[in-house]
Amino acid sequence: MRKTPKSAIYDCFKSVNAEVDSTNATYIIDGGYLLHHAVWDREQTFNVISKKYVQYLHRHYGHRVTVVFDSYSESTKNIKAAEQLRRNMKTSSCSDIIFDQFMTVPANQQQFLANIHNKSRFISML
């Protein structure tokens, strides 16, 4: 399957210059985006890392924020599943890790999240 750049859809939209009052705004954040933009270290516990995500959200979006995670089963045959598979093949992942909030992270963030089972368990913990 050929990869289409996400930016191609932006060409369909027209620019609008308008003042937006964000005083009472609620932000909806893509959980997949969030997982990779709040950076964490290996020496930290999963509990500390979870708190980092909350701090990241409050610092960048305030307190009125909702995070949405989409998920697709491994057997689903669609563009999103194919793209996730393509991305996972490029990145080496670590083995499945059974963890709790008090455990120190045993792998780097990218390798840990590249394993679909680790990623799913981590999202559930968040």
| Residue linked to tokens 């750049």 | 5
Looking at the domain assignment, is residue 13 inside a domain? Answer: no
Looking at the domain assignment, is residue 3 inside a domain? Answer: no
Give the total number of structural domains in the chain: 1
CA 113 to chain centre: 9
32-85 pLDDT per residue, tens = 999 999 888 888 999 999 999 999 999 999 999 999 998 766 566 666 666 666
Where are the strands (E) in 64-126, listed by range?
65-68
Is the distance from CB of 66 to CB of 7 less than 8 angstroms? no
- Mean pLDDT across the stretch 84-92? 65
pLDDT: which is higher, 81 or 12 = 12
93-113 pLDDT per residue, tens = 788 999 999 999 998 899 899
Looking at the domain assignment, is residue 48 inside a domain? Answer: yes
Looking at the domain assignment, is residue 17 inside a domain? Answer: no
Q: What is the per-residue pLDDT for 90?
A: 64
